[in-house]
Amino acid sequence: MKKALEGLRVIDLTHAYNGPFCTTLLADNGADVIKIEPLSGDQCRQWGPMDDKSGESGFYAFLNRNKKGITLNLKDKRGLKIFYDLVQDADIVVQNYRAGVAEKLKVDYEHIRKINPAIIYAAGSGFGQDSPLAQRPCYDIVAQSMGGMVNLTGFPDSVPTKVGPSIADNVTGIYLCVGILMALYNREKTGHGQMVDVAMVDTIFSLLENAIVKTTMHGEIPQRQGNIDPSIAPFDIYSCKDGYIALGVGNDKLFRIFCKTIGHEELLENPHYRTNDLRCQYYKDGLQQLIQNWTKDKTKKELEELFATVGIPCGPVLDMKEAIEQPQIQARQMMIHINHPTIGPMYIQGCPIKLSETPGSVDTPAPLLGQHTQEVLGLTDDEYKMLQKEGVVL
């Protein structure tokens, strides 16, 4: 079965997380992604978990499936010439260097567009290509902090807390992918390429929803509230007999159903709970504890089944093993089996975007360092050995 992006060639200069996540989305959906690594390899080849037998990174293996991997010394004139030759036949170049590094290596947009004016050139970075902090290095925890998310996460009496997964990297990769597809659509109409510039701090800032509006409209700076949502109540995580349950009662109609379901219809007569806005104001003054007292003697399964029956959004808090094994994840093929050449059998995430006619899939494992160099560059054995000897390729 054909995939949506078949026929597109992507030159992937990315490392770490946000860039490789972008190019994985493209590769899962059929793009021919050629991952170019320095001779030392992508830094995330050193990030755990590491396979005990082979020493390979499971993180790298998950994040770089469906790609062909080559090594290239871009600081060598011959390596740069090889890169330029690859760019001539490419549709997309993706990099996530710190601003200024691509220019130093002569693989920036201005150099590349002279070789291929129709190229879509995507750059992910911490602070963007043109900003006061452009040349600063950045990791996810820095972006979450400077974007405003860390100060909103955690409980009022706790220290500021980052979101568990690397959400700045992850969503920056998604935004890069979306920007590339937008630029491709425009190129179909105009024939012109362009640059896509996505910053991790911008990405986090864009996710803060009503916290920004609350600050600008009311002059009130939101603070940490634990699992409470400032705009919806009840919207929280409650303890129960065997763990925790998440519950969201998003409007007045659902609140009426909720009160009847838990046997507390008297709440509907309380003037503090008549509207969602009022419930948000007075949630901590009694409603939160009442619900907690009601859930604590019930199991996650009992609560989930009860609220699912009446249409109230509800779900158990699952650990990683439980999340992997739940029927929902399995039915959506969000976990797949693949064989890695040195790690062996792996069980990793599947494709989250489901297309009816051109579905994406995970077909090949992540490449070993330099695995496809000779194949992709079309080198004879002698040419390959010479370039290896001279430090142009691994």
CA separation for the pair 96, 20 (Å, rounded): 9
- Please give the C-alpha separations between residue 211 and each of 67, 224, 331, in angstroms, as whole numbers: 39, 11, 35
89 tagged catalytic: no
363: tokens are: 């077909």
> Nearest CA to 180 among 31, 351, 16?
31
CA separation for the pair 309, 152 (Å, rounded): 33
CA separation for the pair 51, 391 (Å, rounded): 28
Catalytic residue among 28, 32, 91, 169: 169
Q: Which residues pair with 232 in a beta bridge?
A: 229
CA separation for the pair 259, 262 (Å, rounded): 5
Cα atoms in the Cβ-side hemisphere of radius 13 Å centred on 106 = 14
Given its phi and psi angles, is residue 393 left (phi above 0), alpha (psi -120 to 50 degrees) or beta? beta
Which residues are catalytically annotated? 169
